[in-house]
Structure 1
Amino acid sequence: MKEAGMEAARGQSASDNHVDGNALAGAFAELFTTDITVATTECAQCGCIGPVACLVVYADAPGYVARCQECGGVVLKLVRTPETARIDLRGTVTLTMRLPDM
């Protein structure tokens, strides 16, 4: 879906402030030992498969909201407190990470 179509599907305008999935690297670094941005996700809404780095991330909320680059559906959410991290992957069919060489 083209950017304008994705924005319309989300009910947002082109002026919305977002960054790409690379913004999740630091937040996930404490939780995963591999680079999460090269992991692939499969969107539960449209089936799009792509790297986390390509997700459209909104980081100006109490946490991170990552949307599919094709359909705009929410793929994952990450919320941190001083004691915990909560990852909501309901919008992800799979999250696939390459294991480090041993």
Structure 2
Amino acid sequence: MLDGNVLAGSLAEVWALDVTVATGRCAGCADVAVLARAVVFDHPMGQVVRCRGCGGVLMVVVERPDGVQVSARGLAWVRG
């Protein structure tokens, strides 16, 4: 288990902001926190980003040969 700081490289390809200081709101519990506080489970197939408050999935990040694919359904919003 890692923290949200590991997302800096992966998501830099998708979003032009430093995700370690970006703020997001969990769509499940409405917790607002910097993404660096999120709990990240790293797997060879990708990263699962979970809310530190409720454990809900915030994002799934998959690095593919043709680019990075991100599902952020668990985030109500992200602010840089």
Greater C-alpha Rg: 1
Amino acid at match of 1:81: R
Q: Relative contact order (C-alpha < 8 Å, sep 6+): which is higher?
A: 2
Cα deviation 1:49-69 (Å, max 9, x = unaligned) = 000100000012411110000
Matched, 1:64 2:51: no
Q: Which residue of 2 aligns with 1:90?
A: 73
The two structures have a TM-score, normalised by structure 1, of 0.74
Which whole-Å deviations, capped at 9, do the CAs of 1:11-48 have from their partners, x for residues lacking one?
Answer: xxxxxxx0100010111122233211100110011000
Report the structure, 1 or 2, having the larger helix content: 1
Checking the alignment, whether the CA contact within 8 Å between 2:39 and 2:51 is kept in structure 1 is yes
| Offset from partner CA, 1:42-100 (integer Å, 9 cap, x none) | 00110000001000000124111100000000001111111022110110000111xxx
Identity of aligned residues (%): 39
TM-score, length of structure 2 as denominator length: 0.92
Please give the secondary structure, in 2, of the residue aligned with 1:59. Answer: strand
More strand by share: 2
Any gaps of 5 or more consecutive residues in structure 1? 1-17, 98-102
Structure 2 alignment gaps of length 5 or more: none
* Alignment match, 1:10: none
Look up the SS of the partner of 1:28 in the other structure: helix
Identify which of 31, 41, 46 aligns with 2:24: 41
